[in-house]
Every structure is written in C-alpha cells, then in structure tokens.
C-alpha cells in the first residue's frame, strides 16, 4: 500500500573520532513533519546538535521525541547529552543498559527495545532486530515498506566492521549476518559511510572475509604452533602497521580465537594457542 505521508529516512554523517578510514558516524532521521525518530546521536560535541537541527529543518521533519541507540559506543550514544532539550525517550537494548547510561550521563533514564518489537513512527512500522556481534545489545532497524535496513556498526560502507572483545563476539556476529541476509533489503544504512546499495554482496563480502581470516589463523597455527595472539597478528599483518592499529587488529585476532575455541578447533595454554588434533 502506497501512503503519501512524506515519510523519509535521512542519513546524516556527523564528524566523530572513529576508526579510520571513517571520520564520521551516521545518524538517521526517520519520519515526517508530524513525528520523527532519531537513530544514533553521534559524538558528544556541539556540532552534533547543529547538524541534526539543520537536517530537521532542511527536510521539514518534526523534532524527534525518541532516540534509538544502535549501541553504546562513544561515537554513537553520548551525543544524547547535546539533545536534552528535545526531552527525548532514549531507547537501547537491555544488554547495554549500563553502558548506555554511562555513555549518556547525566541523562539517567533509558527504555528498552528488543527483538521483534514494532516501533511506530509517522504511521510507518519499524521492526526492531536484536543483532549482536559488534556489541552484545546491538539494535538493527528494518523498515519493510522501504526495504531499508539500518545496521548500526554490523555493516560499514567500506571494508569490514571491527569485531573484538570485550564487546564484540565473532560467533554472534556471523549468526547475525546470516540472519540479516534473510531480510528483503534494497539498501543498508551503515554505521559509517554512504548508503550500501548492494546489500547482499556487502554482507557476503564481510562473511567471506571473516571466514578467510579464520582459515588463515588455523593454517598459521598448524604450521607454527603454539602461537600467541601478538605473534599471530604479526603474521597476519606482516607489514609494519601503526601501534594503535596493531592493538585493534590484535583484538580482532582474539575474537577469532575465542570463536575457534568455542567451536572446538583451538585450545589455549597460558598465552599460547594451538590447533586441537
Ligand atoms: Zn561501535
């Protein structure tokens, strides 16, 4: 059924100190001039409010009365602090209650959304998906009438999302990606970067990249075990990489190792890992 209620989904990249190559985090405004919701509030800085209110005016949207946070990370949630005069209801998944309250303090109330909830805005329905992987309480939003998926940090426009402990879980992540593939999606609104116009290719690219890395870790262990996380990461990235990037890469290796242990392929002794025979 086609409704002409000026329903819009607008992506607003807001500058943030996030993982390169990205320099902005996406917020999304969803709704019309009667009612709207904000997805992700960006980084805690004045610019966040200025950019959002500019977009609200430009696209003739109502000021959001609700903010849905895909997750609690510093480039997605703390911007709520800048938006207090909207008196919004802030939503997150229960699993990220504490982290969210810390991220948006002194704002001290959150409401919860969970898998299968239907969130209504401007007479349109948004299906809430609990999509753990990048973080335990990651919320994704699916708008069936537009075939649009707002994927938080489960999908970024270029390359792969960062998955690492303590927040990230590789097993959850791969399961989530399989589940997202079952939706009918014409484009994905990622946590960072442009709209993704080839959703299934992008999801498959990410799944394949993660499975390749898993295979690479198994064969490195087979040849050189036992290996520490640091040594494995050095072998995966043989070129000299910047120390700050190396730490991030190391935690990705760790996320893979945790999955391989849970899957029964790898065992850990002290700080070393080896393949189970
Ligand atoms: Zn994140």
Concatenate the DSSP letters of all residues of 206-258 into one string.
HHHHHHHHHHHHHHHHHHH-SEEHHHHHHHHS-S---HHHHHHHHHHHHHHHH
Q: Confirm whether pTM is higher than 0.85.
A: yes
CA of 134 to the centre of ligand 1 (A): 7
Helix or strand run (H / E) with residue 176: helix 170-181
Q: What percent of the chain has pLDDT over 90?
A: 89
Strands 24-31 and 8-15: antiparallel
| Choice among 14-18, 62-66, 138-142, 166-170 with the minimum mean pLDDT | 14-18
CA of 31 to the centre of ligand 1 (A): 24
CA of 4 to the centre of ligand 1 (A): 35
Contact 89, 112 (CB under 8 A): no
CA of 269 to the centre of ligand 1 (A): 31
Tokens for 72, please give them.
Answer: 């609690």
Asked if pLDDT for residue 238 goes beyond 90, the answer is no
Confidence of residue 22 (pLDDT cuts 50, 70, 90): confident
Strand partners, 17: none
| Angle at 22 (CA atoms; ends 19, 23), nearest 5 degrees | 95
Alpha carbons 166 and 5: distance in angstroms, whole number:
43
Confidence of residue 1 (pLDDT cuts 50, 70, 90): very low
CA of 162 to the centre of ligand 1 (A): 8
Q: What is the pLDDT of residue 5?
A: 83
Alpha carbons 200 and 151: distance in angstroms, whole number:
13
């Amino acid at each position: 059924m086609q409704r002409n209620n000026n329903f819009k989904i607008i992506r607003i990249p807001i500058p943030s100190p996030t993982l390169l190559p990205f320099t902005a985090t996406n917020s999304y405004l969803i709704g019309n001039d009667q009612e709207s919701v904000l997805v992700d509030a960006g980084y805690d800085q004045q610019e966040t409010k200025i950019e959002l209110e500019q977009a609200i005016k430009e696209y003739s949207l109502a000021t959001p009365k609700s903010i849905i946070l895909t997750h609690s990370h510093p480039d997605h949630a703390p911007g709520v602090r800048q938006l207090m005069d909207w008196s919004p209801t802030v939503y997150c998944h229960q699993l990220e209650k504490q982290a969210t309250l810390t991220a948006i303090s002194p704002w001290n109330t959150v409401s919860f959304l969970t898998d299968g909830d239907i969130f209504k805005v401007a007479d349109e329905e948004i299906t809430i998906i609990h999509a753990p992987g990048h973080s335990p309480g990651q919320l994704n939003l699916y708008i069936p009438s537009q075939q649009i998926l707002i994927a938080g940090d489960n999908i970024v426009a270029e390359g792969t999302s960062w998955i690492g402990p303590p927040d990230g879980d590789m097993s959850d992540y791969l399961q989530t990606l399989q589940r997202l593939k079952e939706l009918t999606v014409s484009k994905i609104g990622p946590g960072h970067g442009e709209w993704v116009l080839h959703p299934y290719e992008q999801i498959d690219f990410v799944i394949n990249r993660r499975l390749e890395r898993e295979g690479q870790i198994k064969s490195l262990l087979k040849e050189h075990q036992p290996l520490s996380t640091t040594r494995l990461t050095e072998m995966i990235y043989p070129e000299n990489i910047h120390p700050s990037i190396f730490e991030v890469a190391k935690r990705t290796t760790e996320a893979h190792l945790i999955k391989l242990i849970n899957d029964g392929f790898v065992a850990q002794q002290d700080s070393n890992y080896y393949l189970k025979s």
